[in-house]
Amino acid sequence: MSIYRLLSEDQSPKLLSEKITGVGTALAWSPCGRRLAVGDRLGGIMDYSITIYDGETGAVLHNRRSHGVAVAAVCWVDGDCAWQDPAWSQMLPPLLSVPSAPSNMFAEPREDAPSFPTKFTLLASADEGGHVVMAVGGTFPVQAQDLPGIRPIALQLSRDCRCLAVLGCTPSLEPSSAATSSVSSGSEGDLTVLILDVRKLAIRRRELSQCAALVERLAGVASYAQQAVDTLANVWRSAASTFSNKLKAFFDCLQAYSGGPDTDVHSELLFTLCTGNPSDALHAFLTRQTTPQQLSRIEKGLMQAIEYVNLVTCTRLQVAVQHLLAIIQDLKACSGTQRFKSIGLDNGLLCQLDTQTLSFASMTEHLLLDCSKARCFVRTLFQLLLFQAQKLTESTEGTPSNRPDSKAISSADIDDFVAAVRERRSLELEEVTRRIGKAQATDEESLVTQLATLTAAAEGLGTQLCAAMARHSQVLVEQRLRLAPPWQSLRPEHRPEVRPELARSGASPRGMARPVVHMAWEDREVKEDSDQALAETLPEQLRLFWCDGAEGGAQLCFARLRIEVRARGAPIQPELAMARLKADAAGAGHFLLCRGYDATRVAVLLQDAQQMTTRVCLLDLEAVPFRTDPPVMLTELTEQDAVRQSAPLPESYWCASAMRVMSQRGVCSVYSWRARRLLTLDMDADEDDMDDD
């Protein structure tokens, strides 16, 4: 999938991202127009996700795996609620970027704090299995619900976030490319519209916005700490493995020259330290397995790794702990109110998070103490080895060499070294390695395991919110629609000649096998802080448009579903009004595609079989005669109904397969499957300029 920007007429479209990884199945732009949500499959059979891309660069901003099958539809709406960063975020030290290696640990750092949206938006997504997820900002799920027995193909969330419309088909009634749209039972239709009551999202949008921002910030800081610990662990393992390999060579020499079964490396070091002369095993190791230069390099690498661990622990991990504790305290303050309890914010889990964060902070303090001991041990050990190596080199070659300064080792360091050797402590600095932890270890107390536990507990907050919000959702209305693809209305001689087998067989080209139903909620003015009105008084109206195949020509069908959202549990009596339009009495006009342009107009793709032309028209909804009582009369389209009409499109757009509109930009794009071209029209241009557009 690629993203293009439409520039001026004298310039070609600029490619913003050459390629987005994954197989896109559904997409939606954010209300601000800067982010793109794509439901895709990233390689694996069960690896389905919602990915948020930067609309300018194509960079991946966020990825979450909330679906087990392919994502069928997404929509992104503005929740009309803002959230400001807490005051403590400006008072705490910033989260700095983690240096990748000790060589650049003193380079000028940059702030690496994750960015969080300050405006409350809701991204709804549905997969082919009927699993519907709604996420704040597109990144933090707050509600998940399963709709058994339906395969969604589109969904639309109302602007006030009270109702969610899901359009889908049941497995036994999936639309087909047959020549008729009739069904066996009069109570069933080809497609089903479900209206879900999600008013809790509207009533508690401020609490959800604040809670989602804090929990997402908590997860972001935990992810930052996880990255710091992983980088720290990689640097330490690299330095420690080099030292460990050199010690293995010492162990081999010890086994070859051992004087008895009780002789070990600790005894050899004590013997050398007390007598001032190396043992046979140490002599063989220093003369055959290593050189003073190699020992100096290993010592330098270890000391740099210890300094790196100290730097990352003090300036990154402990700062992250301060951010985590501040976020948890904010969440604990919120959890004391009934409003936040109603959305699933649990104080017990927050206390558990607080305890785990304090435990992680204590572990960083112990790591600093272990590094301090390791620094003294390494310095004393290598001074001892280098002294003996330089002594052997001087006696063998007869050339003076620079011996280590004995004043560099204090008596306290020597005492600590002797005590550590007598206690048979690990020479490979296992204390530091165990404190940092291993990637696969789950049964030991370390930074890695403690942070993994903390991250899992943070994810549990989101799971609790989803479970609590799902309990407040219910199906209000289930309405079935009977329709047929508009392709069936075209006569064989009017179908494109590029593939004659299509005309003979009646099969439709890609994108026109079934009618496309467009859903839109009517805009409503809701006063601020009117939770009671949101809960019980204001009605909702859902508009549906589609082009329906018929013998006399493809018709344009309208449906207006009015729902009186009442108190929870009260019976709902939906009111359905229908309208049908035909292009002309002769049957030469066909409606192929339609999209809702704005609150009062609909954009349609009109085909004239006599003149062999295709135009884009804007129809005024106020002029459409809706009827609530059957039968619905078929009304002929007049020139007064067409508010705007474009010039004839090129011949390759005779059977276009897709159309999209954006009233904010005043554009309409039509895609031709025959020529594989996209045509964009300026809908706000003067009628005299339509030929040029």
What SS3 string covers 535-600? HHHCEEEEEEEEEECCCCCCEEEEEEEEEECCCCCCCCCCEEEEEEEECCCCCCEEEEEEEECCCC
Per-residue pLDDT at 180: 34
Tell me the per-residue pLDDT of 228-247, one tens digit each, with 9 for 90 and over.
Answer: 999 999 999 888 888 888 87
Q: Which residue has the tokens 């479970």?
A: 467
State the Cα–Cα distance between residues 202 and 473, nearest whole angstrom: 12
Q: Which residue has the tokens 């960063």?
A: 85
Per-residue pLDDT at 330: 92
CB within 8 Å of 365: residues ≥ 6 apart: none
State the Cα–Cα distance between residues 250 and 283, nearest whole angstrom: 10
Contact 231, 355 (CB under 8 A): no
Structure tokens at 443: 């049964």
State the Cα–Cα distance between residues 283 and 275, nearest whole angstrom: 14
Contact 345, 328 (CB under 8 A): no
Structure tokens at 261: 């079964």
Find, among 64, 6, 61, 9, the residue nearest to 35 by Cα: 61
Q: What is the DSSP string of 88-116?
A: HHHHSPP-BPPPSSGGGTTS---B-PPP-
Average pLDDT score, the chain = 78
Query: In degrees to the nearest 10, what's the CA dihedral of 323, 326, 329, 335?
Result: -70
Per-residue pLDDT at 184: 31
Please tell me the pTM assigned to this model. Answer: 0.77
Contact 254, 281 (CB under 8 A): yes
Q: What amino acid is encoded at 357 in this protein?
A: T
Per-residue pLDDT at 304: 92
The β-bridge partners of 135 are 123, 141
Environment class of 153 (CB within 10 Å of its CB; exposed 0-12, middle 13-18, buried 19+): buried
Per-residue pLDDT at 305: 92
Per-residue pLDDT at 186: 33
State the Cα–Cα distance between residues 427 and 409, nearest whole angstrom: 18
The β-bridge partners of 469 are none
The pairing of strands 131-136 and 539-548 is: unpaired
Structure tokens at 510: 């890609």
Per-residue pLDDT at 182: 33
Q: Which residue has the tokens 């009671």?
A: 532
- For 49-78, b/e burial (b = at least 16 CB within 10 A) is bbbbbebeebeebbebebbebebbbbbbbe
Per-residue pLDDT at 499: 45
State the Cα–Cα distance between residues 402 and 405, nearest whole angstrom: 9
Helix (H, G, I), strand (E, B) or coil at 167: strand
Per-residue pLDDT at 327: 93
Contact 165, 520 (CB under 8 A): no
Q: How far is CA 629 from CA 183, 577, 579, 608, 633, in A?
A: 21, 8, 11, 31, 10
Instruction: Quote the longest CA-to-CA distance of the chain.
Output: 115
Query: In degrees to the nearest 10, what's the CA dihedral of 492, 495, 501, 505?
Result: -50
Q: What are phi and psi of 473, to 5 degrees?
A: -105, 145
State the Cα–Cα distance between residues 674 and 491, nearest whole angstrom: 18
State the Cα–Cα distance between residues 158 and 142, nearest whole angstrom: 17
Could you list the beta-strand ranges (E) of 203-300: none
Per-residue pLDDT at 677: 84
Q: How far is CA 615 from CA 268, 456, 604, 606, in A?
A: 94, 55, 8, 5
Tell me the per-residue pLDDT of 474-505, one tens digit each, with 9 for 90 and over.
Answer: 888 888 887 777 666 666 655 554 344 444 44
State the Cα–Cα distance between residues 96 and 115, nearest whole angstrom: 13
Find, among 27, 30, 29, 23, the residue nearest to 48 by Cα: 23
Tell me the per-residue pLDDT of 124-172, one tens digit each, with 9 for 90 and over.
Answer: 999 988 999 999 888 888 888 899 888 898 899 988 888 899 998 876 5
Contact 196, 186 (CB under 8 A): no
Structure tokens at 376: 């003294």
State the Cα–Cα distance between residues 642 and 618, nearest whole angstrom: 6
Q: CB count, 10 Å around CB of 126?
A: 30
Contact 323, 221 (CB under 8 A): yes
Q: Does an H or E element contain 136, and which?
A: strand 131-136
Q: What amino acid is encoded at 319 in this protein?
A: V
Contact 592, 524 (CB under 8 A): no
Helix (H, G, I), strand (E, B) or coil at 143: strand
Find, among 661, 246, 581, 257, the residue nearest to 429 by Cα: 246
Strand order in the sheet with 60-67: 23-29, 35-41, 48-54, 60-67
Q: Which residue has the tokens 């600790």?
A: 266
Instruction: Give every residue of the chain whose pLDDT is below 70, as ranges.
Output: 1-22, 41-47, 112-118, 171-189, 258-263, 273, 394-409, 439-444, 486-515, 524-538, 550-553, 566-571, 585-587, 631, 639-642, 686-693
Environment class of 642 (CB within 10 Å of its CB; exposed 0-12, middle 13-18, buried 19+): middle
Contact 350, 331 (CB under 8 A): yes
Structure tokens at 229: 């610990």
